[in-house]
Amino acid sequence: MSEPLSGPMRLALVGATGLIGRSVMEQCVGRGDVRLTAISRREAPLPKGARMEMFVAEPEKWGEVIEAIRPSAMICALGSTWKKSGRDEDAFRAVDHELVLATARAAQEHGVKRFVAISSVGADPHGKSLYLKVKGETERELRKIKFERLDVLRPGLLLGKRQNDTRPAEKLGALASPVLNPFMLGSLHKYRGIKAEVVARAAIAFARRKARGRFVHENEAIMKMAASLPELAEL
């Protein structure tokens, strides 16, 4: 069941400066069914034509912002990289684990009913990779927070232009993705490259869903949900 059409869904976004966060803002431009508010630690340019607010505050104040704007749903696109964290485990965990969970708990405390978290394919609390291990641990703790609905998105390789990011491995993967994707079938489908705008559309669509529960979605479900989001001409 989706958000009723009697009024726009009040949607909050954290992680607006990243690839998915920027895509969420872009996908909300012109949508009369979504009232988007971003919460960020620093200023970020808004997409052309965006009619939204952005609150800039330190993370310890985010709960107060959430209480003031009273969103019914939140998309959490927070995330760092091993390189950006200075290859320091504590710094990496501070964002991808501690800040995500602190934000989720503040959201639940202040009445947010639905929470959509962007994770990663292969997330596993028992994984050998620190990145995937932390993602898995974060997912596990998110499930303990009493949202009416929790959607965890595990996209494959994210495709899109990142700002100030020079990771050669991801660039190479993005270039190879159109060639490799057709051969990644069956259990490998979840590792396919997927456009950031598709993940963003899916996140918005999942935020509209009212069925209660905890759900994990990989590439196929993400693409299906993205396709279900009404186009602007249909609103």
Active site residues: 131, 135
d(CA 115, CA 70): 13
Measured CA to CA, the distance from residue 106 to residue 197 in angstroms comes to 27
- φ/ψ of 189, rounded to 5, equals -55, -35
b/e map of 152-180 (b: 16 or more CB within 10 Å)?
A: bbbbbbbbbebeeeeeeebeebbeebeee
Tally Cβ neighbours within 10 Å of residue 122.
Answer: 16
Contact 225, 206 (CB under 8 A): yes
Strand-pairing partners, residue 152, are 117, 216
C-alpha–C-alpha distance, residues 142 and 55, integer Å: 24
**List of E strands, 4-108:** 9-14, 34-40, 53-56, 73-76
Measured CA angle at 176 (ends 126, 174), to 5 deg: 65
